[in-house]
Amino acid sequence: MADSDKVPDAPQRIHKILSAHGAASRREAERMIQSGRVTVNSLPATIGQSACPGRDEIAIDGVLLAPIGELVYIMLNKPRGYITTAKDDRGRKTVMELVAGAGARLYPVGRLDMDTEGLLLLTNDGRFANAVAHPSFEKKKTYEVHVHGDAPGAADMLRKPMEVDSHPVHAASVTVKERKADGGILHITINEGRNRQVRKMCESCGLKVLSLKRLSIGTVQLGALGTGKWRHLTENERRALCGSNCTKV
């Protein structure tokens, strides 16, 4: 019988189930099973074991596998050193490694460069992703920037319109959170989201960016979420981000 003809809750090998749900490739799924990250009905799964997706509770790192077709929305506190992409042909670490336990094939909403950390959204809902990431919706994004240089003086410059890569940009707000003899900490809010925009804005004002972290998108805050950790968005957070463009679930 072909895979497409199987009864939905007929027994299947667990690594195939995880792959079908987009949680991991079959090879990656086997590694996850070997390392004890996968359970079936709260018991550790074993290589070659079968289960029934419609009846058995299959979990990765304690998170139940999302049914095929279920829409998933999560926030990740992205660490430095990870790239924001689903795959990388150069073997670099990607954010997908950090959300493998989400139980669904997710895609990043927008990007954070390798050296930037903080709030990153991931989903399998294309309409939601567009409502959050498309420039026309102007979702404000706030960053914490540790800089070397004249932070108060640069703050005045950052509040004025400027050009980045030949495009006019400006900060919606700039706050000096801490002053130091050789630098400081700024909170910069922007409406746009051009490639490395905050870094380039700071550099154009004579600042050297030491670290950059995204704190919020719209009204959704990173909060106390640990570095490298993720959680599901609440329904209120999801609706606050996509408004009337939300997919009904």
CA distance 42 to 47: 16
Consecutive H or E run containing 213: strand 208-217
| Residue 14, helix vs strand vs coil | helix
Longest dimension (CA), the chain: 72
CA distance 93 to 102: 17
Contact 125, 74 (CB under 8 A): no
Report the alpha-carbon angle 65-9-231, nearest 5: 10
> How long a stretch of residues is the chain?
249
Is 113 an active-site residue? Answer: yes
Report the alpha-carbon angle 173-186-95, nearest 5: 95
Tokens encoding 36: 């004890």
Phi, psi values for residue 212, rounded to 5° = -140, 130
CA distance 105 to 110: 16
* Annotated catalytic residue within 9, 61, 88, 113: 113
Phi, psi values for residue 74, rounded to 5° = -135, 160
CA-to-CA dists, residue 176 to 46, 50, 56, 111, 189, angstroms: 54, 57, 53, 25, 12
Residues with a catalytic annotation lie at: 113
